[in-house]
Structure 1
Amino acid sequence: MARHRTLARRRAGVLAAATAALTFAGTAPASAGAADPAGPPASAGAPGTAVPLEPAGPAGAPEAAAVPDVAALPDAAAVPETGWPLRRAAGLPRGHDVSSYQKRVDWAAARAKGARFVYIKATESTTYRNPSFSGQYSGARKAGLYRGAYHFALPDRSSGAEQAAYFVRHGGDWRADGRTLPPALDIEYNPYSAKHACYGLGTARMVRWIRSFSDEIKRETGRRPVIYTTAQWWKQCTGNSRAFSSSHALWIARHGTARPGALPGGWRYWTFWQYAVEGRLPGDQNLFNGSLSRLRVLARGR
């Protein structure tokens, strides 16, 4: 979500002129999860070019085949809808998300600064794998963080099921070890084309694409993916679909404000909030909407 943040900034003016709905300031694609292509490591080609890398993801099949989905996980600390000011976040678990642009993270230092969880970019479309994923993923675990993997979606490149299968093969698997967060789908403004913010898909097709991705993740891991998005993108590109709010945890991106704002698509609670693109932790800054015990429940799946 770091590399595409840069691309989003470059295109902000164009997008604003194209449509008032694309407000990248503050609430926008926080760094469009695709932290690497469009300028991955020097050895990589242009976006969409396969990058031959060593296997990146955790090995092995999921240890639990049918795990109940845990969505918003509201508890005494959970905040509904428009939320509260950021100054009240002191008691919530802090975390971050990273990609290959944070190649060598000092995980022990991150934990000492307050990190309790991290999401790490694993894949993009079906042609890119984060070359730093394996080391980042194992390093986070060794430091005692809850960690999960995320996939940056390019719905105009291939089907949701194909991208989900690629993600699972290269890091997006889930293990019932009590420390692995559910796989996450990063779906937001197209960082490669200002003209096609919704990847050329109408709202009905986009909803079907997301459903296809989610169903494949569920089939292969037993978990529904966390959905990372912005309120603006969700409203524009899915027609503010409510099809996922009862079964998928929401990771909302909204920057430069003291509140997460009104939530899209029928979600009553946010589970993660990406509130800043930089801060005390490497990469983007996030909060979990609950206690550490609820974060543990999310990781366990029950």
Structure 2
Amino acid sequence: MARKKNGRLRLRLVGVVLLLALAGSGWAWWHLAGWTPSRTEFPVQGVEVGGEDGPVDWVALKAVGADFAYLDASASAFARDPQFVENLEGAKAAKLQWGAVHRYDPCQPADKQAANFVTVVPRDSAMLPAAVWLDQLADDCPIKVSDAAVESELTTFLNQIETHTGKAAILKVSRSFERRYKIAARVDRNVWLEQLRFQPDYAGRPWALWTANDRLSVPALTGGVRWVVVQP
């Protein structure tokens, strides 16, 4: 009889623990859906958007506090974001500063990727430094690419797009890419890091931009917004 009571007690305790865990995760989701870093600490804040985010209400986005927008523009040697032109027009109409993002592919030649970028992104002295998103590793490339080649091709790509934009680019580096290539120490550019809620330090040096929340809920977009802040 005592064993049966103990078994029921254990089941009840497990149920209570599960309910508390669910409540905690629900609170965390709710908190992150509305959380942005303090404006006192980080006065300049903005977003990164692309075609996957759907239509953007740019006036509403500016109203919730976006000062700038980085727009997904191109990827690899041929891919282009289908919403880039529309997003660019919307950001400009809302008088937001804007920049373009290229998702870099270490499997493709630098010159082809640069040609793709400069075809998509107009030359505009008012644009923010271009961002090069580094998250794809070369380990799965059809033809083997050495670590040295990843670095040298990336440098070639940067030189070519910087000639087009007239500004030094910024490296948007994922944790896995940095762990694999230690690129922040090898390529002298400002870095844009990603970490939910807490400031990232995985590049080994200060960040210039930080994706602080990739699931912010705002009326301007149907999905979660990638909210970005600038180092003051």
Q: TM-score, normalised by structure 2?
A: 0.73
How big is the shift at 1:228? 0.4
Q: Quick one: which of 184, 196, 215 aligns to 2:140?
A: 196
Tell me which moved more, 276-285 or 147-156.
Answer: 276-285
Structure 1 Cα separation of the partners of residues 123 and 190 of structure 2: 15
Equivalent pair of 1:161/1:215 in contact (CA under 8 Å): no
- Consecutive unaligned residues in structure 2, runs of 5 or more: 1-35
Alignment of 1:35-114 (within 5 A): 88=38, 90-92=40-42, 93-114=44-65
Cα 1:241–1:136 shift into 2, 3 Å:
closer
Q: Quick one: which of 208, 213, 232 aligns to 1:271?
A: 208
Match of 2:154 in 1: 210
Structure 2 counterpart SS, 1:136: helix
Q: Quick one: which of 240, 250, 264 aligns to 2:191?
A: 250
Deviations 1:234-275 (A, max 9, x none): 231x24452323xx22111222x42222424xxx32111012
Match of 2:16 in 1: none
Match of 2:132 in 1: 185
Confirm or deny that 1:260 pairs with 2:210.
Answer: no
Q: Percent identity?
A: 22
Equivalent pair of 1:174/1:181 in contact (CA under 8 Å): no
- Consecutive unaligned residues in structure 1, runs of 5 or more: 1-85, 291-302
Structure 2 counterpart SS, 1:228: strand
Aligned residues: 190
**Letter aligned with residue 115 of structure 1:** A
How big is the shift at 1:184? 1.3
Structure 1 Cα separation of the partners of residues 184 and 193 of structure 2: 15
How big is the shift at 1:186? 0.7
What value does the CA root-mean-square deviation take over the aligned residues?
Answer: 2.3
**Letter aligned with residue 203 of structure 2:** L
Match of 1:147 in 2: 98
Structure with higher Rg: it is 2
Structure 1 counterpart SS, 2:185: coil
Structure 2 counterpart SS, 1:122: strand
Deviations 1:91-142 (A, max 9, x none): 4211111110123100110111011111111111122111111110110111
Q: Which has the higher strand share?
A: 2
Cα 1:89–1:244 shift into 2, 3 Å:
farther
Q: Quick one: which of 216, 219, 231 aligns to 2:163?
A: 219
Equivalent pair of 2:125/2:165 in contact (CA under 8 Å): no
How big is the shift at 1:90? 4.1
Q: Whose RCO is larger (CA < 8 A, sep 6+)?
A: 1
Q: TM-score, normalised by structure 1?
A: 0.57
Deviations 1:70-109 (A, max 9, x none): xxxxxxxxxxxxxxxx855544211111110123100110
Cα 1:176–1:240 shift into 2, 3 Å:
closer
Confirm or deny that 1:167 pairs with 2:167.
Answer: no
Confirm or deny that 1:129 pairs with 2:80.
Answer: yes
Structure 1 Cα separation of the partners of residues 195 and 136 of structure 2: 14
Structure 2 counterpart SS, 1:189: coil
Deviations 1:132-190 (A, max 9, x none): 1111011011112111111111121x21122012101112x44223xx11111111135
Structure 2 Cα separation of the partners of residues 107 and 284 of structure 1: 14
Structure 1 Cα separation of the partners of residues 185 and 153 of structure 2: 15
**Letter aligned with residue 274 of structure 1:** T
